[in-house]
Structure 1
């Protein structure tokens, strides 16, 4: 379904620009964030990107009652991780990510490569995203591991701490537990 919409949008759009709709593919949001900081001359690491995605998803779940992106956020040893994004940027290690990447989708059993150029998030979503990621960057870019520590203090991660530390994989965050934790608006790390 997403792919059909993308094809129609690209057919009717000018200059191969595609205006995407929420919930976005997680890689579209990740590429948007990577490009934004890279263009500003402040490329970010995979660790910071993954935590930004987690807090963005939480923010949109709480404030708009809707996911910002598709995909799943899992509980890993370093806190919340979206596995698809991690896999595309893991080769950077702790080095800054310099540019967005093409990514693959399953299109009726065939892999299709998606070029990130010209894939536009809605303008009002960009403004909300920018506000949150700028605050996270300003506060944590020097020490992104502080975000790991913060997520480790949250009850959602703590509930599964023993399982995570014993090597259990694929433990997903539940949207409802995220909403319940952040619903009072006082627990955002950028405040």
Structure 2
């Protein structure tokens, strides 16, 4: 019985805090970004969030040779989309996202709901994330469709342009191609 009480007290005293490690679940990164901009009084749209995630993944693949998050970015008509994130925030349409969301995971055949509160990304990762998303926000928050045009000009999207326009779905970006394209450090959209 003492062990159960200790576990409960530990849970209550830690305020349900969980320190996460890379690669993160994509929804943990998305919720972190949503909370960051909402707390600053500048909620972002799903379109901008999805492009931020794409460029964050590219940045980590290029500079750390490791994914920031687990998930697969796909090539859609409006450029790169992480389908899980899109599905959780699509009801916002073009309106700003004003809060993070709970999400579901399959845990060995059992569906679990993850509450975003208390899920902590590593501090050094948050510094990089903040730097990249702040640059993107500062340059594109008034017209995130500029990022759509930029991603449409990248060779990774262009090579599948006809397939995308013909309605082919589930065309995934290749992480190696992304890292190779951005490796010279001169193709970032915030430069």
Could you say which residue in structure 2 is the equivalent of 1:47? 47
Counterparts of 1:174-189 in structure 2 under 5 Å?
174-189=174-189
Q: Does 1:155 align with 2:162?
A: no
- Point out the structure with max Rg over C-alpha: 2
1:110-160 Cα offsets, whole Å, 9 max, x none, are 110000000000000000000000000000000000000000000000000
Larger displacement relative to structure 2 (30-39 or 12-21):
12-21
Unaligned runs of 5+ in 2: 1-9
Q: Please tell me whether residue 32 in structure 1 is matched to residue 46 in structure 2.
A: no
Query: What pairs with 1:1-191 in structure 2 (closer than 5 Å)?
Result: 14-191=14-191
SS of aligned partner of 1:15 = coil
Distance in 1 between the 2:113 and 2:139 partners?
Answer: 35
Unaligned 5+ segments in structure 1 are: 1-9
Q: Could you say which residue in structure 1 is the equivalent of 2:7?
A: none
| Secondary structure at the counterpart of residue 24 of structure 2 | coil
Cα deviation for residue 85 of structure 1 reads 0.1
Deviation at 1:15, TM superposition (A): 2.0
Deviation sequence 1:14-57 (CA, Å, 0-9, x none): 22110000000000000000000000000000000000000000
| SS of structure 1 residue aligned to 2:58 | helix
Runs of 4+ in 1 over 4 A off after TM superposition: 10-13
Tell me how large the CA RMSD over aligned residues is.
1.3
The TM-score, its normalising length taken from structure 1, stands at: 0.93
Task: Return the offset for 1:11.
Answer: 5.8
Call closer, same or farther: CA 1:24–1:13 in 2, change over 3 Å.
farther
| Aligned counterparts of 1:13 and 1:185: Cα–Cα separation in 2 | 44
Q: Aligned pairs, how many?
A: 182
Question: What is the CA–CA distance in structure 2 between the aligned matches of 1:167 and 1:62, rounded to whole Å?
Answer: 30
